[in-house]
A and B are shown apart, each in its own frame.
Chain A
Amino acid sequence: MDLSFGAGYDEFRAEVQQFIAASSDKSPKQSGMGNAEAIAWQKLLIENGYAARTIPREYGGFGAEPDIIKSRIIAEEFSKAEINTGLGGQGISMLTPVLLEMGTEEQKQQFIKPTIHGEMIWCQGYSEPGAGSDLASLTTKAELDGDEWVINGQKIWTSTAHLADWIFCLVRTEPEAPKHQGISFLLFSMDTPGIEVRPLVDMTDAANFNEVFFTDVRVPKDQIVGQRGQGWQVANAILGHERGSLAPPDAALSRLNGVIKLMNSESVNGERVIDKPVFRDRLMKIQGRVLAMKCNDMRLLSASINKNQDAKLAGMVVKLLGTELRHELEALAVDVMGEIGIAYGDNPHLRGNGSWQYQYMFYLGLIIGGGTSQIQKNIISERGLGMPREPKPAAKANAS
């Protein structure tokens, strides 16, 4: 057991701290795509190696060798200083790694640099009304007509579609093939004629998602990543990337500290909530679970550095546990506030801008999104414990 990062990294940490001290005034107050301040900050971060760190220079990145500990130190120092960590979004976190691995040279040249610099915003066209947990049954089709794909169908849960310049999209190109082998991964501009975006208002009152409709959308034939019919493998490579990132334990720890502050400031009949043993026990229960997740995360970090360590199951449980835990943590804060916990929108009695109520609902969405808790349990039991898959029901006469 050695929890230190080693003396060699102290110097690197000092460099990061110096950068933060010198530049934190430029950190944008509002994150958010397409905002000029955020784009300028992103450029500064990339130039200094604090964003797009391992992306090669020829594609607009910083070009450092991968070093998980340096990445962790950057994340720790930025989080400690509470400054903006640069742009996120699905183009940066999901498409870019895929292009680096599976894209053509032309695609890398064309897309990576503007994407990581926040000049090209992407959305992800995966889920459909009839293809949620069973994503591979998607039916949006693309048929080849000369040098163009012609796309028809509908996507749903498409976050940032209303802001996006481009979409990376799963479409069915081989309707005769088994369902996992008939999918292709296409890239196209959201300005293409035939695309309609409708906002989908969710329980938080915000439109965090959209529905996207395609009617005879024509896309050049070469805007495909991987081969025809290989789209499922491409998508799976990035879904794995998404799952762990939905519930980072450091964010849960910082929210937990927020609940403690709230329990110190809120009171009932003049008694602080933190002094009420019933509430305190709930807080401690959640703190215990957050600490367990934090320790689990240290083990995962260690296993990513030390290849001889096996942490397969430890990684598989993160999405399931992390999202459920955050939902319960936010729920505790709502209960701590009592009636104030039902305030919302423009209510003048809101605490913390209503973020507790908002996150309480938003995390219910995350329990479902990115592979529901039930799908996670299938994955853990089948791929983690080697238990058999549910037998397939006898095929229907007209099944495709």
Chain B
Amino acid sequence: MEFGLSSEQTLLQDSVNRFLTEQVPLDRVRKIAAGESSDAESWSGLTDLGIPGLLISEANGGLGLSSLDAAVVSELLGYHVTPSPFISSAVMAPAAMQAAARREDLLGSVATGETRIGIAFAEGIGARNDAGLTVDGGKLSGKSLFALDADANYYLVSTDTQKIYLVDANASGLSRSSLTTIDRTRSTCELTYEKVNAELISDDPDVFRIALDAGLVSLSADTLGASQCALDQAVTYAGQREQFNRVIASFQAVKHMCAEMVAGLEPCRSMVWYAAHALDEIPEESTMMASHTKAHLSEVGQFVTRTSTEVHGGMGFTDLVGLHYWFKRAGFNRQLLGSPELLRERAARAQGLAA
């Protein structure tokens, strides 16, 4: 019995962590967030480490690793607030296309970083006002909001009935405009379709479920990493900042905030590991666990990132320290692919406790 990361997973963790620490530090993230640079360079660096093809099977040109490996990478991307199309191109798109066994020919070029596949699943999760899609004779019309990756070459688009279509980003009738969100480390866009050619990837809600579960665990791991970094920064700052002739880390009020962050976050690490393991190995629990994990991590992530900001006092609120990147990353993850309330309802349905 071994509940934890294997030595190979620890090596993967070390090499990705080294790359992100050295090549994508906060200064670089700030440039991308300000629109002065794109995530292409860092994605290409991650490609050298094999990251885009992590979950793509060897037959399809990838590494064929496990969901736990992907969670390890997501956690680090969250820790370093790295802009990247990992969740869409490397996690959700391969999950959907491999589960449906459709258009797997595209995945080889995803693994080499040449192709990026965005995810426009909002309709399938919970249609909001302002959007809406119709499909008529293989042609897509309407609109998707908050599609992941404004630089993708293709999009997987879900309808409200959880059918998944593939559209080419350059297809005629498709227009795309970037959407500003609180989290400038993430790239999202609005897709407008006017009779756009769409290729059916799946009409099986189970394929949608599998891809969504994979995305939920990945976002949970991202929040885990972002929260861990916010906590680490709070402990470091409290150990340096002096008031009343003492470092503020010696005040119980501050220590207890830090202890509460640890208490919230530490079990989350095990929960993310288990949920990732369940995606591959315990199918009967995977949807319940993925939903619960994303909902729980969203609550803990919100608490940790706000509390870390409070520990920093006024500096935490400024752009100087940049702590807001972590706060916003967790805030973005919380709403994307289902807010905590919607996901707890999904967890209840997965156990037959709700209709």
Complex: A386 Cα to B259 Cα, angstroms: 11
Partner of B1, one of A289, A301, A381: A301
Q: Distance in Å from the Cβ of B213 to the closest Cβ of chain A?
A: 15
| Range of interface residues on B (Cβ < 8 Å) | 35 or more
Chain A interface residue bracket vs B: 35 or more
Considering only residues 350-400 of chain A, those with a C-beta below 8 Å from chain B are 374, 376-378, 380-382, 384-391
Contact between A284 and B270, CB atoms less than 8 A apart:
no
In the complex, the answer to whether B267 meets A305 with C-beta atoms within 8 Å is: no
- A378 contacts which of B239, B255, B262 (Cβ < 8 Å)? B255
A69 is an interface residue with CB less than 8 A from chain B: yes
Are A292 and B273 touching (Cβ within 8 A)?
Answer: no
Interface residue B184 (Cβ < 8 Å from any Cβ of A)? no
> Is A388 touching B259 in the complex (CB atoms < 8 A)?
no
Contact in complex: A387, B274 (CB < 8 Å)? no
Q: In the complex, are the beta carbons of A284 and B3 less than 8 A apart?
A: no
What mask results when residues 305 to 329 of chain A are scored 1 for a CB within 8 Å of chain B, else 0?
Answer: 1100100011011001100000000
Q: Which residues of B contact A314 (CB under 8 A)?
A: 266-267, 269-270
Q: Report how far A285 CA is from B347 CA in the complex, Å.
A: 10
Measured CB to CB, the closest approach of chain B to A243, in angstroms, equals 13
For the complex, is A137 an interface residue (Cβ under 8 Å from B)?
no
B268 & A277 in contact (Cβ 8 Å cutoff): no
Say if the beta carbon of B345 comes within 8 Å of chain A: yes
Q: Which one, B26-34, B114-122, B244-252, is touching chain A?
A: B244-252
Q: A288-B295, A314-B270, A385-B235 are in contact. Are A306 and B4 (CB under 8 A)?
A: yes
Q: Judge whether B344 is part of the interface by a CB distance below 8 angstroms.
A: yes
In the complex, residue of chain B having the shortest beta-carbon distance to the beta carbon of A69? B1
Contact between A374 and B3, CB atoms less than 8 A apart: no
Residues of chain B within 8 A (CB-CB) of A376 are 259
CB distance from B270 to the nearest CB of A (A): 4
A1-38 interface mask toward B, CB cutoff 8 Å, 1 = contact, 0 = none? 11111100000000000000000000000000000000
A18 CB to nearest chain B CB (Å): 23
Once the chains bind, are B1 and A284 in contact (CB under 8 Å)?
Answer: no
Interface residues of A in 122-144 (CB under 8 A from B): none
Q: Tell me, yes or no, whether B241 is within 8 Å of chain A by CB.
A: no
A302 with B2: CB separation less than 8 A: yes
Q: Does B226 contact A (CB under 8 A)?
A: no
> In the assembled complex, which residues on chain A have CB atoms less than 8 Å from the CB atom of B353?
260, 274, 280, 283
Give the interface SS of chain B, mostly helix, strand, loop or mixed. helix
CB within 8 Å for A388 and B296 given contacts A2-B1, A292-B271, A377-B260: no
Taken together as a complex, chains A and B put the C-alpha atoms of A305 and B295 apart, in Å, by 31
- Is there a chain A Cβ closer than 8 Å to B321's Cβ? no
Partner of A284, one of B4, B293, B348: B348
Answer yes or no: A201 CB below 8 A from chain B CBs. no
Q: Which residues of B241-289 are within 8 A (CB) of A?
A: 246-247, 249-252, 254-256, 258-260, 262-263, 266-271, 273-274, 277, 281, 289
Q: A4-B1, A274-B353, A380-B259 are in contact. Are A391 and B246 (CB under 8 A)?
A: yes
Closest B residue, CB atoms, query A305:
B1
B55 contacts chain A at the CB level, 8 A cutoff: no
**Residue A239 CB within 8 A of the other chain:** no
Q: A288-B295, A293-B267 are in contact. Are A384 and B1 (CB under 8 A)?
A: no
Interface centre among B5, B255, B345 (most CB of A within 10 A): B255
Nearest first, the 10 A-B pairs at minimum CB distance are A302-B3, A295-B270, A284-B344, A377-B259, A381-B255, A296-B267, A288-B296, A380-B259, A292-B267, A317-B263
Please list the residues of chain A having a beta carbon within 8 angstroms of any beta carbon in chain B.
1-6, 69, 260, 274, 277, 280-281, 283-285, 287-289, 291-293, 295-296, 298-299, 301-303, 305-306, 309, 313-314, 316-317, 320-321, 374, 376-378, 380-382, 384-391
Seen from chain B, the residues whose Cβ lies within 8 Å of a Cβ on chain A are 1-6, 68, 235, 238-239, 246-247, 249-252, 254-256, 258-260, 262-263, 266-271, 273-274, 277, 281, 289, 292-293, 295-296, 299, 341, 344-345, 347-348, 353-354
10 contacts between A and B (CB under 8 A): A3-B277, A285-B295, A292-B267, A292-B270, A295-B267, A299-B270, A309-B4, A378-B259, A380-B258, A381-B259
Given contacts A317-B263, A384-B262, 12 further A-B pairs with CB under 8 A are A1-B2, A3-B277, A280-B354, A285-B295, A287-B347, A292-B268, A295-B267, A295-B274, A317-B266, A377-B252, A377-B259, A378-B256
